Amino acid sequence: MTSYQERYTASLMNTFGPPRLVLVRGEGAHVWDADGREYVDLLGGIAVNALGHAHPALVEAVTTQLQTLGHVSNFFTSTPQVELAEKLLELLGVGAGGGKVFLTNSGTEANEAAFKLTRRTGRTHVVVAEGSFHGRTMGALALTSKAAYRTPFEPLPGDVTFVPYGDADALAAAVSDETAAVLLEPIQGEAGVVVPPDGYLAAARAIADQHGALLWFDEVQTGMGRTGGWFAHLRTGVRPDVVTVAKGLGGGFPIGACIGVGDAGTLLEPGNHGTTFGGNPVACAAALAVIGTIESEGLLEHVTVLGQKLRDGLGADPRVTEVRGEGLLIGLDLSADVSAGAVSAAQEAGFIVNAPTPGRIRLAPPLVLTTDDAGAFLAAWPAILDEAFAEAEA
């Protein structure tokens, strides 16, 4: 494994730092490294591998489609592309005719498309939440609040105001009749799984309506069953104008979507935007297989039940000061800034988790995570924290 890590350092740009592991195969929620060691994957490619690794339905769909039709330009369409767009509108609750879909290759590209869509209102001002993450391309980066990401690339596309997440009064004060859109994550992922207060999304809808602005929900991390529903915002009954989705949509195959609801779906016209690979029939077939498997295997209910079990079990340790999230998007606050040590200790124990901040742990495992694997992690959790806290005190 060490030789591959050294070769990685020698041949790939240093945008991510040194890799923690060299992974060679996976099955379900398990992965194996180049030394043959097995791990339970509780990160799922950062909420991407909805069906885990090597799921037969996904393998079959991609293989069959690639043998049939691999790629066509956007002068043409394909049956998977049309069927996926229709399915996404159905899952969003608006149905065919209730919106329009633009298919992309990733979440940041979905957000780029949505950002351009907001400019078609004739306005340029966008209000975004602090703690947000919407992507790394220049447009999406302009909407991402973390200064460390933004500063090296400024000036970025402007007229963006950041307000505290969950604070409806601050949002109301920032939005004006010049605002094109209010952009929010229904649950903030990269910030450490931050859940807004009840009524916040409804307040955002009312504020946007008051000023004729679009309400845009970034569901790149929270969508596609991750929180126990198809989209996290659906439980609130709030209807957005724009929704962006990616990550779990393709179960590991690159795909994203910008969905315009109602009139918002007509804002982009021929020549306004484009993509070479977006809507690729193989990617669309992968997404349809993911959606179909979530439905046929009852994974929304499974995610809801198992997520509650994990949150209850992890929060029982007194060194965990807060547990947040819904379904299998879970954030933990620790009583000290030992999350990096906890990630290392978990890896040594055979579990892959994530530390979004020095004092927080994030879990976003495959939706097919088994009850036995969840139980094994809960059993190992106290010892993982023992090691992390002992290392910090040493």
243 and 327 both lie in a single domain? no
123 and 76 both lie in a single domain? yes
Gap between the Cα atoms of 71 and 284, Å rounded: 11
23 and 165 both lie in a single domain? no
Which two structure tokens, joined as six digits, stand for 289?
């297989």
The active-site residue out of 41, 218, 241, 333 is: 218
97 and 207 both lie in a single domain? yes
How many domains does one find in the chain?
2
Q: Identify whether the C-beta of residue 325 lies closer than 8 Å to the C-beta of residue 232.
A: no
Active site residue 247: yes
Q: Which domain range does residue 190 map to? A: 57-296
270 and 383 both lie in a single domain? no
Q: Check whether 69 has a pLDDT greater than 70.
A: yes
Q: Identify whether the C-beta of residue 251 lies closer than 8 Å to the C-beta of residue 290.
A: yes
* Contacts of 170-174 spanning 24+ positions with Cβ under 8 A: 171/127, 171/203, 171/204, 171/207, 172/203, 172/207, 174/127
Gap between the Cα atoms of 327 and 307, Å rounded: 4
Q: Identify residue 216 by its one-letter amino acid code.
A: W
Boundary-marking domain end, from 262, 296, 330:
296
196 and 276 both lie in a single domain? yes
Q: Which of 14, 269, 253 is nearest to 119 (CA)?
A: 269
227 and 331 both lie in a single domain? no
Active site residue 100: no
> Measured between alpha carbons, how far is residue 123 from residues 113, 116, 171, 272, 336 in Å?
16, 11, 18, 16, 44
- Which pLDDT score is estimated for 1? 62
The active-site residue out of 102, 115, 133, 351 is: 133
- Calculate mean pLDDT across residues 242-258: 98
Number of H helices, E strands in the chain: 13, 15
Q: What is the DSSP string of 168-207?
A: HHHHHHH--TTEEEEEE-SSBTTTT-BPPPTTHHHHHHHH
CATH of the domain at 352: 3.90.1150.10
Average model confidence (pLDDT) for the chain?
A: 97
What DSSP character marks residue 286?
H
List, for residues 325-352, the tens digit of each pLDDT value.
999 999 999 999 999 999 999 999 999 9
275 and 320 both lie in a single domain? no
Q: Which of 185, 180, 202, 205 is nearest to 264 (CA)?
A: 180
17 and 123 both lie in a single domain? no
CATH of the domain at 131: 3.40.640.10
Active site residue 333: no
Q: Which of 1-10, 57-66, 274-283, 331-340 has the lowest mean pLDDT?
A: 1-10
Gap between the Cα atoms of 37 and 290, Å rounded: 28
Question: What band does 388 get if pLDDT is binned at 50, 70 and 90?
Answer: very high
324 and 338 both lie in a single domain? yes
Q: Which of 339, 220, 156 is nearest to 147 (CA)?
A: 156
List, for residues 13-54, the tens digit of each pLDDT value.
999 999 999 999 999 999 999 999 999 999 999 999 999 999
How many residues are present in the chain?
Answer: 394
CA dihedral of residues 2, 17, 348, 338 (deg, nearest 10): 150
The active-site residue out of 100, 115, 241, 247 is: 247
